[in-house]
Amino acid sequence: MNQTRTRRLASLALAALLSILGRLEAQETTSGSLSGAVRDGQGAPVPGATATLTSDQGSKAFVTDAQGRFFAPYLTPGRYQLRVTLTGFAPLELKDLLVRLGSRTELPELVLRVGGVEEVVEVIGSSPAVDTSSTTAGGVLDNETLKRFPVGRNFTDALYLVAGVSDSSGVGRANPSIAGSSGLDNNYVVDGVNISNTGFGGVGTFSIVFGSMGTGVTQDFIKETQVKTGGFEAEYGQATGGVVNVVTQSGSNVIHGAVYGYLRPYGLTSDFAQLQTPNGTVNTAGDASYDAGVSLGGPLVEDRLFAFAAFNPQWERRRLVAPEGFPLSSLGEVERRRRVYSYAAKLSWQAGSNHRLDASFFGDPSKGELGPQRTTALLASDNTRFSELTYGGHQQGLRYDGIVNAHWLLEASFARSINSIDEKPQVDEWQGTDRTVVPNRPFGGIGFYDKGGQGENLQYQLKSTHIFDLAGNHQVRYGAAYEDISFARDNGRTGPPFTLADGTVTRTGASSISILPDPAFGRIYRVGRANFGPVPETTAKYYNLFLQDTWKIAERLILRPGVRWERQRLVGGGTPLCSAATGQPEDFTVSHPGDAQCERTFSNNFSPRLGATYDLFGSGQSKVYAAWGRFLSKVPNDLAARALSADAGISRADYFDAALTRPIPNGVLAGGQTQHLIIAGAGAARFDTEAQPTYQQELLAGVEFELAPAVSVGVRYTHRSTPRVLEDVGTLSMTAENLSATPGNVEYYITNIGPQIPTQCYSGYPCSFETPVHEYDAVEVTLNKAFSGHWGLLASYRWSRLSGNFEGFFRSDNGQSDPSITSLFDYPTNDPSYSAVGGPQLGFLGDIRYLGSSLGDGRLPNDRTHQIKVYGSFAWRALTLGLGFNAGSGRVLTALAANPSYNSPAEIPMTVRGAGLQTASVSGCDPCGGYRERTPFEAKLDLHADYTLKLGRQRVVLLADVFNLLDRQAPTDYDTAVESAFGAPNPNFGYPTSGAVGATPGYDDPRQVRLGARLEW
């Protein structure tokens, strides 16, 4: 009944929108726009004048209205020439007007003089450097500018040039932290195609083992990239971090293309810092990459039909060395090989001046050759942990942009995005580690692996824009979108099935087996993970409606109210009946029990937005602006796979023998525990029917000026908070669970975290959940100059503070990629029995209260107090020089103990967050040793140079980039895990290694030189 009512309300809302809006404009997703006002010599509006815009894709003409205004939408980003004509007036021309992606270029007042057609008035100037109608923070990066800077080849490398973008503490470079978010909280759109991973968030193909494995888009495919770090419109959502919007290149009337190659061989990379640790660390002996490509664009029918195509294969190489004294050190340098075949194509049909159709195709099918695809493979006794990978994605999009009349614009699109990853282990054996010796000795296969997981997203959008006058000028934009998502996650675990203490036979092998010392039995064998449930295949249906007005109340004042409505339905798969058979209470959402599926619908979520801009001097060269908004997260399908399905498995199973045939009975004290079988996910999780997705609220205010032609300076303040968090909880306290005399069966309850959640505490001790906290404050100063007059500049400084106990979709302290179902709130956090009872009786380390907000609220891992960025370029004749300087505060450090129930490291804080830890002294590492609250201050200087040789209509560009010119290799991370497993001290604690219980050095990459050559025409 609730669903029927929701559908009726949604239908009425859409019908109301379509009926009350008469005529409209706005900021397009894959293009830009330009507007202006034409006056005569006395300042009166000039209606009926023709404004003709010309680019290398032909010409488009627009006629001024009664107020002398014209608006030119759906312009391919680039440079244009404008000619304004009207009988009796001398034509007026402006050249080299720059139109940016997702932005509106508002021209200064255009004045027509009385004269003949033979007299042309040419206006000298540049495009405005300030968009006086926008409240969005961030930046736009065009391909020609990026060619002059020292930047990596993947489009995500360029995101770090924008203020507010920083390292995300463990999610990988392709997934940055934007405005204090985690690396999985951003939304990525390319040519209108949402390429965000359906299972976990993040960009492109994503694996919980390898992180982001590809995006399908390299710098040579791109026309422009827009990074929205805050203040974005109601049209944009699915993100509590930022929105990255990319448009690829198009064909034009001019045949253009390039053949290029880049190489960064082993010989042009300095020596990597080497690290020897008690537990063994795999060192990098060299790193190399090569890529070559070809692109071609041009007209199929002049002024009408254009095509562009590009192919850019890449080869990645890394030489790894096993630690001294480990068996595989005898192999010497072992090479890890991966190859990526990136491609892109676009067909553009200009069906008349008012209608355009674009078809886009891009992807990155990739392969990792058999070898140490995981660095930890070289810690094993032989090559049992070698594997090969097949991964990547394919995306297609079809988009229509139409000008119905001077006051009505229409857009429609269909897109498909598919990503998959499949790892094939070389050896099918159980995975484990002998923790009775130092260094700990890994044995067996790779354990957990992605076994053909795949996600697909079918996307449908319809948008409309109207322009009308009512108490000022309105530019109203509204639309609807629907996404049909499927996601399959097969948790492969190497080795044969085995039998649990209750007689259940597992579906997978065992992983995370720890051989632990025990005073009574000598040693025991603790299995950390195994699955016995079916493989879940999940779906999701996502809907949104938005309404956004740009209301020009007065000549200088613009108000931007908007609202976004979202609905998401997640459906699990492979689940036993979700009714009485699983004992779920009535508040658990059940759908079609006969279909063996469980579902959860999040509906009627409204995200209001309100912004305003004021042109301080009325010249179009300054603005003061403010925005307030709510940003709702879109829950990835990993929740459906693990919580709406029977993700049946174990989090602990203890045995007396290595063959896993003699289970340890419950009640026997062994390995510091009396509970020796804990089952998790035997049925789908219970859902709070009132629970809704996580959202953030933001307040943004700033001022921006055009200091000189093409030069802008700005100052802005951002505050973000997270009033509501959706997560899974286990209501039984950890102490009570581990001292229980009955077999453990952890079942989770998914709700909005807070003190209202009922708990089951240990006898005599109160316990409760607490309200999550995520608070972000930042002040940013920017100085930008579009490239002109031989030079360009992007510079910024950010002061920020990020505090609380909740990071976002990614939990970087323990490296967990399970959005909305991390282990952060699996147990009541305000539980004094953890340290008072669990400490002395069971050996619990740390204090679970430091996970909560009242006692543990502190600096979060993505807190970066200071950040400085300077990217500049200078061209002199055929020579261009570029510089990149990026510096900032290091990563916040917190010492973390293992989770006693899950046996996983880096879960329970030893101190309040951000209090620091004792680092180990390492030979040759000056910042190592002593107590540190952060990793060292980061600073990196990069250089670029290119020289152009003209050969008739062609040109050859020879280029070189030097990354980390000063070869600074300071620690970027330390091993924060006090224990490598519960009850097993981590010998590498405090060493500069990458991630908790890291197996690779956590240092900056050394100096690297990349050479390239391009033949362009």
Terminus-to-terminus CA distance in the chain, angstroms? Answer: 63
- In the predicted structure, residue 22 carries a pLDDT above the cut 60: no
Which pLDDT value is given to residue 126?
63
- In the predicted structure, residue 717 carries a pLDDT above the cut 80: yes
Q: Does residue 961 contact residue 969 with C-beta atoms inside 8 Å?
A: no
Tokens of 410: 């229409």
**Beta pairing class for 92-99 and 104-106:** unpaired
Which pLDDT value is given to residue 634?
96
Distances (CA, A) of 457 to 437, 462, 484: 48, 17, 6
Which pLDDT value is given to residue 633?
96
Which pLDDT value is given to residue 995?
67
Which pLDDT value is given to residue 1000?
87
- In the predicted structure, residue 699 carries a pLDDT above the cut 90: yes
Among 523, 509, 490, which Cα is nearest to 445's?
509
* Residue 731 pLDDT grade (very low, low, confident, very high; cuts 50, 70, 90): confident
> Percentages helix, strand, coil for the chain, rounded to the nearest 5?
10, 50, 40
Which pLDDT value is given to residue 11?
41
The rounded distance, in Å, linking the Cα atoms of 572 and 684 is: 8
Bigger pLDDT: 685 vs 974: 974
In single-letter form, the type of residue at position 977 comes to A
The rounded distance, in Å, linking the Cα atoms of 293 and 365 is: 15
Among 387, 363, 373, which Cα is nearest to 313's?
363
Percent of the chain with pLDDT over 70: 93
Which pLDDT value is given to residue 580?
31
3-state secondary structure of 664: coil
In single-letter form, the type of residue at position 688 comes to D
- In the predicted structure, residue 851 carries a pLDDT above the cut 90: yes
Residue with tokens 């908070």: 721
- Can you give the C-alpha Rg of the chain in angstroms? 29
Those residues whose C-beta lies under 8 Å from the C-beta of residue 329, and which sit 6 or more positions away, are 321, 322, 323
Which pLDDT value is given to residue 105?
81
Tokens of 709: 């032609």
* Residue 925 pLDDT grade (very low, low, confident, very high; cuts 50, 70, 90): confident
Distances (CA, A) of 812 to 97, 772, 906, 994: 44, 16, 10, 12
Neighbouring CB atoms inside 10 A of 796's CB total 21
Q: 547-582 pLDDT, tens per residue?
A: 999 999 998 999 999 999 999 999 987 655 453 333
Percent of the chain with pLDDT over 90: 68
The rounded distance, in Å, linking the Cα atoms of 250 and 258 is: 14
- In the predicted structure, residue 533 carries a pLDDT above the cut 70: yes
- Average pLDDT on 74-87 reads 89
Q: Does residue 53 contact residue 36 with C-beta atoms inside 8 Å?
A: no
Which pLDDT value is given to residue 577?
46
- Average pLDDT on 591-617 reads 79
Which pLDDT value is given to residue 575?
54
CA 79 to chain centre: 30
* Residue 102 pLDDT grade (very low, low, confident, very high; cuts 50, 70, 90): confident
Q: Return the ∠ at Cα 456 (arms to 454 and 460), rounded to 5°.
A: 175
Among 695, 717, 720, which Cα is nearest to 634's?
695
* Residue 27 pLDDT grade (very low, low, confident, very high; cuts 50, 70, 90): low
Q: Does residue 256 contact residue 214 with C-beta atoms inside 8 Å?
A: no
- Average pLDDT on 83-106 reads 86
- In the predicted structure, residue 604 carries a pLDDT above the cut 80: yes
Q: 396-445 pLDDT, tens per residue?
A: 999 999 999 888 999 999 999 999 999 999 999 999 999 999 998 899 99
Which pLDDT value is given to residue 479?
97
Q: 985-1001 pLDDT, tens per residue?
A: 999 999 999 866 667 89
Neighbouring CB atoms inside 10 A of 621's CB total 20
Q: 620-660 pLDDT, tens per residue?
A: 889 999 999 999 999 999 999 888 887 788 888 999 999 99
Q: 218-235 pLDDT, tens per residue?
A: 989 999 999 999 999 999
In single-letter form, the type of residue at position 458 comes to L
CA 877 to chain centre: 39
Q: Does residue 224 contact residue 138 with C-beta atoms inside 8 Å?
A: no
Among 305, 298, 293, which Cα is nearest to 344's?
293
**Beta pairing class for 366-371 and 599-614:** unpaired
**Beta pairing class for 749-752 and 110-111:** unpaired
Q: Does residue 681 contact residue 581 with C-beta atoms inside 8 Å?
A: no
Those residues whose C-beta lies under 8 Å from the C-beta of residue 19, and which sit 6 or more positions away, are none
- In the predicted structure, residue 957 carries a pLDDT above the cut 80: yes
Tokens of 910: 């030893």
Q: 854-910 pLDDT, tens per residue?
A: 899 999 999 999 999 999 999 999 999 999 999 999 999 999 999 998 888 999 999
H-helix segments, 65-152? 143-146
Which pLDDT value is given to residue 746?
61
Tokens of 101: 């992606």
Q: Which of the given ranges, 132-146, 210-224, 309-323, 560-574, has the highest pLDDT on average?
A: 309-323
Q: Return the ∠ at Cα 677 (arms to 671 and 681), rounded to 5°.
A: 135
Distances (CA, A) of 1 to 4, 217, 223, 646, 873: 5, 45, 48, 27, 62
Among 514, 320, 516, which Cα is nearest to 430's?
514
* Residue 685 pLDDT grade (very low, low, confident, very high; cuts 50, 70, 90): confident
Tokens of 110: 């255009």
- Average pLDDT on 774-792 reads 94
Which pLDDT value is given to residue 117?
59
Tokens of 845: 């380390």
Among 422, 543, 424, 532, which Cα is nearest to 488's?
422
- In the predicted structure, residue 39 carries a pLDDT above the cut 70: yes
Those residues whose C-beta lies under 8 Å from the C-beta of residue 400, and which sit 6 or more positions away, are 355, 356, 357, 410, 411, 412, 413
Q: Which of the given ranges, 169-178, 361-370, 918-927, has the highest pLDDT on average?
A: 361-370
- In the predicted structure, residue 760 carries a pLDDT above the cut 70: yes
Q: Does residue 413 contact residue 387 with C-beta atoms inside 8 Å?
A: no
Which pLDDT value is given to residue 825?
94
Tokens of 672: 């510091």
Neighbouring CB atoms inside 10 A of 678's CB total 23
Which pLDDT value is given to residue 20?
32
Which pLDDT value is given to residue 594?
37
Q: Does residue 851 contact residue 894 with C-beta atoms inside 8 Å?
A: no
